[in-house]
Amino acid sequence: MQISLIIPFYNEEEQIPLTIAACVGVLDNTGRSWEIIAIDDGSTDNSWQLLYSAAEKDNRIRVFRFSRNFGKEAAICAGLDLAAGDAVILIDGDLQHPPASIPEMLDLWDQGYEVVEGKKSARGRESFFSRLNARIFYGSFRRLSGYDLTDASDFKLLDRKVVDAWRDLPEHNTFFRALSLWLGFKRTTFSFDVGNRE
Ligand code: UDP
Ligand code: MG
Q: What is the pLDDT of residue 132?
A: 85
- From first to last of its 198 residues, the chain has per-residue pLDDT tens of 999 999 999 999 999 999 999 999 999 999 999 999 999 999 999 999 999 999 999 999 999 999 999 999 999 999 999 999 999 999 999 999 999 999 999 999 999 999 999 998 876 677 888 888 888 888 877 887 777 777 888 999 999 999 999 988 887 778 888 878 888 899 999 999 888 776
Ligand 1 neighbour 93 (Cβ under 6 A): yes
Q: What is the pLDDT of residue 123?
A: 65
Q: What is the pLDDT of residue 149?
A: 76
b/e for 124-145, b at 16 or more Cβ within 10 A?
eeeeeeeeeebeeebeebeeee
* Cα 39 to Cα 51: distance, rounded to the nearest angstrom: 9
Give Cβ neighbours of residue 114 (< 8 Å, ≥ 6 apart).
Answer: 158, 159, 161, 162, 185, 186, 187
Give the residue, by CA position, lying nearest to ligand 1 atom 19. Answer: 94
Q: What is the pLDDT of residue 151?
A: 81
Using most ligand atoms within 8 A of CB, pick from 92, 153, 154, 177 the residue to mutate for ligand 1.
Answer: 92
Q: What is the pLDDT of residue 152?
A: 83
Distances (CA, A) of 34 to 6, 28, 75, 110, 141: 11, 8, 19, 15, 35
Could you list the beta-strand ranges (E) of the chain: 2-9, 33-40, 61-65, 87-90, 115-122, 156-159, 187-193
Rg (CA), the chain: 16
Residue 134: which H helix or E strand, with range? helix 128-145
* Contact criterion met (CB below 8 Å) for 35 and 51: no
Ligand 1 neighbour 69 (Cβ under 6 A): yes
Give the residue, by CA position, lying nearest to ligand 1 atom 21. Answer: 92
